[in-house]
Amino acid sequence: MSCVAAVDDGLGRLEGVNSIHIDLQTNLVQLNCGPDVAMDLASVPVAIRETGFAPADLAIVANGHFEEGGRAFRPTGWSRALRVAADGFDAGVFSSSDLEGASPVHIAADVVGWEDGGELALRSIERR
């Protein structure tokens, strides 16, 4: 089995994964999940490791809403929210108006500490 096929097969077994794109040039794997799936982010690197490869960084791009005054982000359709790393908020990278309100937002974030459930280190926020 090729490298791509092995990783594709391993990640394809994760609950809720609709499609997988693997780019060997950039060493990037993109997972697209169903809208009503609360992905266990820690399961992604575990699945990659089980195929014999070492996972690197984990990031998320999602639509959803901030909760708890910006301390948590709930992707659309997920039953649980993800913690937002304190430095993304406290360091003034994003203002409180970016992190408040009921209007949906689109975020890009690195997932730090994914071994322990992960926190989102926000890279960008766009109002929808």
Bridge-based pairing of strands 105-112 and 119-127 is antiparallel
Mean local confidence (pLDDT), 1-25 = 87
82 and 38 in a common domain: no
What's phi and psi for 70, nearest 5 deg?
95, 0
Percent of the chain clearing pLDDT 90 (strictly above): 8
63 and 123 in a common domain: yes
Mean local confidence (pLDDT), 48-66 = 86
45 and 75 in a common domain: no
What is the pTM assigned to this prediction? Answer: 0.72
Tokens of 49: 């490791």
Q: Can you give the CATH number for the domain in which 101 is found? A: 2.40.50
Q: How many helices (H) and strands (E) does the chain have?
A: 3, 7
**Stronger pLDDT, 96 or 34, i.e. the higher one:** 34
Q: Average pLDDT of the chain?
A: 80
What's phi and psi for 44, nearest 5 deg?
-65, -55
Rounded to 5, what percent of the chain is helix, strand, coil?
25, 35, 40
52 and 31 in a common domain: yes
Rg (CA), the chain: 15
DSSP run (H or E) holding 101: none
Its domain, for residue 120, covers 59-127
Q: Can you give the CATH number for the domain in which 17 is found? A: 3.30.70.100
120 and 64 in a common domain: yes
Number of domains, the chain: 2
18 and 7 in a common domain: yes
Each residue's pLDDT tens digit, 63-121:
888 888 778 888 887 878 888 886 655 444 556 566 666 678 888 888 887 666 678 88
66 and 123 in a common domain: yes
What's phi and psi for 51, nearest 5 deg?
-90, 0
66 and 122 in a common domain: yes
Tokens of 65: 């809403």
123 and 64 in a common domain: yes
